[in-house]
Amino acid sequence: MGLCNLWLRVPSFIRLRIYNLLIKIGLRLYERTGSQRCYKLPFNLYAKFGSNIFMAEADAMRFIKSRTTAPVPSVVDAIPVPTGAFILMTGLPGTEMGARLQSMSTPELALLAQDLKGCFDQIRSLPPPTSGPRVSGFGGGKFRCFRITVNPIGPFATERDFYQYLYEHAWATQRERLEQIGQKVHSTPYKLCLTHNDFTPHNILLDCNNRLSGIVDWECCAWMPEYWEYTRSCYLRDGYTQWLHLMGEVFGTWPEELAVEKEFWYCNDPW
C-alpha cells in the first residue's frame, strides 16, 4: 500500500487539521489565488472548499483524469464537510491565459485550438449515465451554472424540464416571446455531453510557449446538451473576437443555438 493510501486511512478530522495548517503556511508563503475558495499550499498542492463546493467536482476530475489525456488536476483527497466538500489537489504547470490571448500569434492560437479540441473531443465523447436525470451535475445531482443563477439547480429528468426552468427564471414579461424564439432549438434532441460549464480564459493554463498545460475549476461540471459548452463559453463575450473564434474552432459553431441563448442572456440576471 502506497504512502498516499496509508495517509487516506487516517481519520478525516485529523487530515483536515493538517490541511488547514498547510493553508496557513501557504498564506504566508504565496500570493492569493484568483478565488477566495482556492488556496495554494506547500508541496505543489491546492485546497478548494467553501459554499457550494461539492464532492461531485472531485469525482468529475477523477473521472476525466482516468479516461482522457486532458490536463486536469489530480485529486489527492476529498472530504465531505458541512459546507459541501474539502478538495485537495495537485497544482498544474503554467499560468492563467487571461489577457495573454490578445497577444497570441495566429500560429499559437491554431496550436492552442488543436490542444483544446483534442481534450474536449475526448471529454465530450465520454458516455453519459444510462439512467437517472438527463441534465444534471456529474454525479446526477444538482449543479451550478453562472449563466443561469448563482445557486445550484436541477437535476432535470429531461431536456424539456431544463428548458422549462430557463423560461420560468427569465423575465416574466418576456416569457412568451422567448418560448416562440426557442421553440425550434428547444424541441431538437441533442447528444448529452460532459461539460465544463464555466469555460473562460482564466480556467485555461498555458506554458511559456503558450501551449495548453491545464484546464481547471470544474465545479460547474455537468451533463448538458452538446451545444451548451460553446454557447456558455460565449456568454456575454460579444467583443472578444479571438476568444469567440477559438471557441468555434474547439467546439464547432452553433449559430441557431447561440442566437436563442443570447435572447435569454438579455432577459435573465443571475446576479
Q: Where are the domains positioned within the chain?
A: 3-90, 95-265
Residues 165-181: what's their mean pLDDT? 93
Q: Which residue has the higher pLDDT, 56 or 36?
A: 56
Cβ atoms of 205 and 215 within 8 Å: the answer is yes
Beta strand ranges found along the chain (DSSP E)? 38-41, 45-49, 75-81, 84-90, 95-96, 136-137, 143-145, 149-153, 192-195, 204-206, 212-215, 222-225
The CA distance from 267 to 168, in Å, is 11
pLDDT of residue 51: 83
Domain boundaries 95-265, CATH class: alpha beta
| Closest alpha carbon to 215 in 106, 117, 140 | 117
The three cell numbers locating residue 84: 459541501
Q: Kindly tell me the number of DSSP H helices and DSSP E strands found in the chain.
A: 9, 12
Residues 110-129: what's their mean pLDDT? 96
pLDDT of residue 233: 98
Q: What percent of the chain has pLDDT over 70?
A: 99
Name residues whose C-beta falls within 8 Å of residue 63's C-beta, 6 or more positions apart in sequence: 126, 138
Name residues whose C-beta falls within 8 Å of residue 70's C-beta, 6 or more positions apart in sequence: 64, 119, 120, 122, 123, 215
Query: What distances in angstroms separate CA 154 from CA 81, 225, 231, one per listed residue?
Result: 22, 14, 19
The CA distance from 195 to 29, in Å, is 34
Indicate the residue type of 8. L
Residues 88-94: what's their mean pLDDT? 96
The CA distance from 195 to 201, in Å, is 16
Question: What is the chain's mean pLDDT, rounded?
Answer: 94
The CA distance from 243 to 232, in Å, is 12
pLDDT of residue 268: 82
pLDDT of residue 1: 53
Residues 186-205: what's their mean pLDDT? 96
- Backbone dihedral angles phi then psi of residue 12, each to the nearest 5 degrees: -60, -35
Cβ atoms of 196 and 229 within 8 Å: the answer is yes
The CA distance from 19 to 63, in Å, is 24
Cβ atoms of 169 and 204 within 8 Å: the answer is no
Instruction: Give how far the C-alpha of residue 85 lies from the chain's centroid of Cα atoms, to the nearest Å.
Output: 16
pLDDT of residue 117: 98
pLDDT of residue 76: 97
Give the model's confidence band at 172: pLDDT under 50 very low, under 70 low, under 90 confident, else very high. confident
Name residues whose C-beta falls within 8 Å of residue 186's C-beta, 6 or more positions apart in sequence: 159, 160, 163, 260
The alpha carbons of the chain give a radius of gyration, in whole angstroms, of 19
What is the tens place of the pLDDT at every residue in 217-270? 999 999 999 999 999 999 999 989 999 999 999 999 999 999 999 999 998 877
For domain 3-90, give its CATH number from 2.40.70, 3.30.40, 2.60.40, 3.30.200: 3.30.200
- Backbone dihedral angles phi then psi of residue 82, each to the nearest 5 degrees: -55, -30
